Amino acid sequence: MIEWLAIPCAMVAAALMPSAKMKDKDKIKKVFEVGKVGVKKGDDMKYPKLIKEITGEDYTTYLYSLPLGIPSKVMELLIPSLEDGLNKTVEYEFEDGLVKLHVFETELPKRWDYDTSLIRPGTWEVPIGKNHHGILYHDFDKYQHLLMGGVTRYGKTVCIKEIMNTLISNNPNDIDIYILDLKAGLEFYKYKVFPQVKEVACDVFESAKLLDKLTNELKQTEVFFRTKGWTNIVDTPIKKRTFILVDEGAELSPDIIKDKTAKKFAAFCQAALSEIARISGGLGYRLIYCTQYPTKQAVPQQVKINIVARLAFVCTSGVASEVILDERGAEKIPSIPGRAIYLVDKPKTIQVPYIDDKMIFKMNKEQNNHVTVHTKPSRTDVGDSGSSWHRENKTPPRNPQAKL
C-alpha cells in the first residue's frame, strides 16, 4: 500500500526543529518519514534507500532507490518540503532507476552580467541562464520558438534584448529580425538602426501590416521548399533565419482591446502569429512571444501548443504559471529580477543574463564595422511607409479568423 502524501511545510519544520544540527541525509530521511513516502509491507514501512552520497564543490548528491510502487511524481511534490527542511536549494532527477537529489550549498547569483565570451559564432545558441550546473543555452535550431511570460519588471524585455544581441553576434550576416514592440516601440524602436533589424511595428495596426507581409512571405517559402523537396531548414544549405520578436503579446488580444477597429486587426495578428507558430519553424522562422499577462486571451492556443520551449519569470499565481509552463511553480520564484524557470524537457530555475542598451549598441557597432549584411539591404518602416492603409481605417488585407 502506498502511504506517501504531500507534506505541509509546517509539519516538516516541526519535525526538524529540535534537531537543527542533524546531517542533511538524516533530515531527508525525516522528510520521507513525515511525508510517509514509503510502501507498507506488513508492519514495516519501506522508505527510499540511500545508495550513495557524492560530494561536489558546492553541492552534495544523494542517490536513493525508491521502493516499488512509489510514483516518480512524488519527488516533485516533495521538493518544497525538502527545501524548507534543509533550507537549501534541492533538485532531483531520475537516472538508471535511482533518484538523484542534488542539495546545493550556495544560492544562485542574484545578478549575472552578460559578456562577450557567451557568444557562439555560427550557431543559433543563446545563453538563457545560469544555474548550479553551469550555463544553459537555448538552441533555436532545436527548439525553434520560445514562449515567455511573467509579471511586470522582472526581466522579459531585457531577456529578449539579450537573445537578439546574441543572435546578431552569432550570425550577423544571416539573420533578419522583425519586432512587434507593442509598448509603443519604447524598448525596441531604437534598434531600427541595426542592419539586421528589418522592421519594428509599434502598435496593432503596424503589427497587422508586418504580419501580413511575413505570412505572405511564408507562403512563398513553403512553395520554394516544396519544389526543392525540403522539409526542415536545418537540413538545407540555407544559413539565414528570420526572427519575429513580440514584446507584450496581450496588446494583440481582441478580448483585451476595446476599440472596434483595433479588435479586428488584433484578431488578424493573433491568427497570423498562430500560423507562424504552427508552420514556420521548418522554414526558418523563429517566434519569441512574450507577455506580462499569462492568460488564455493573451496567449493564443495555437501559439502555445506549437511552442515547446518556455521561460517563466515570477508569475502572480499558479494559474498564470500554468499558462506559460503548463505547470505550477513560477508563482514561487523568489522576487529577483532575472530569476526564471526555463522549461524544455524539465523545469530548471535559472538566473537570466543581464545586459543593457548601452552594451548592445557598443557590441553592435564594433561588429557591424566588419559585417556585410547579405540579407535585404533596404528596410521599410511599417510605421512611416506611404501606404498607410490602416490609418484610412481599412480592415487588414487578409484575415483568416476574424469575421470582418
Ligand X SMILES: Nc1ncnc2c1ncn2[C@@H]1O[C@H](COP(=O)(O)OP(=O)(O)OP(=O)(O)O)[C@@H](O)[C@H]1O
Binding-site ranges for ligand X (CB under 6 A): 111, 152-158, 292, 337-338, 352, 354
> By beta-carbon distance, which residue lies closest to Mg ion?
157
State the minimum distance, in angstroms, from the CB of residue 257 to ligand X: 18
State the minimum distance, in angstroms, from the CB of residue 334 to ligand X: 13
Radius of gyration of the chain (CA): 24
CB-based burial label for 299 (10 Å; 0-12, 13-18, 19+): buried
State the minimum distance, in angstroms, from the CB of residue 350 to Mg ion: 18
All three cell numbers of 78, joined, read: 516533495
Nearer to ligand X, 152 or 231 (CB): 152
> By beta-carbon distance, which residue lies closest to ligand X?
338
Whole-Å CA distances, 160 to 9, 166, 260, 353, 354: 36, 10, 30, 11, 11
Among candidate residues 59, 5, 63, 62, the one with its CA nearest the CA of residue 32: 5
Nearer to ligand X, 8 or 337 (CB): 337
- The residues near 255 (Cβ < 8 Å, ≥ 6 apart) are 297
All three cell numbers of 320, joined, read: 498564470
Nearer to ligand X, 28 or 147 (CB): 147
* Residue 363 contact partner, candidates ligand X, Mg ion, none, CB within 5 to 8 A by sort of partner: none
State the minimum distance, in angstroms, from the CB of residue 157 to ligand X: 3
CB-based burial label for 355 (10 Å; 0-12, 13-18, 19+): buried
Nearer to Mg ion, 156 or 390 (CB): 156
List, in sequence order, the alpha helices (H) in 191-283.
204-228, 260-279
Nearer to Mg ion, 157 or 215 (CB): 157
Nearer to Mg ion, 99 or 245 (CB): 245
State the minimum distance, in angstroms, from the CB of residue 242 to Mg ion: 22
Quick check: 291 binds Mg ion (CB under 5 A)?
no
Nearer to ligand X, 261 or 316 (CB): 316
Which residue in the set 157, 165, 170, 349 belongs to the binding site for Mg ion (CB under 5 A)? 157
Stretch that binds Mg ion, among 136-144, 153-161, 358-366, 376-384 (CB under 5 A): 153-161
State the minimum distance, in angstroms, from the CB of residue 155 to Mg ion: 8
All three cell numbers of 391, joined, read: 490609418
Helix/strand number for the chain, H first, E second: 9, 16
Alpha-carbon gap, residue 196 to 167, rounded angstroms: 10
State the minimum distance, in angstroms, from the CB of residue 338 to ligand X: 3
Among candidate residues 304, 346, 331, 283, the one with its CA nearest the CA of residue 141: 283
Site residues (vs Mg ion, CB under 5 A): 156-157
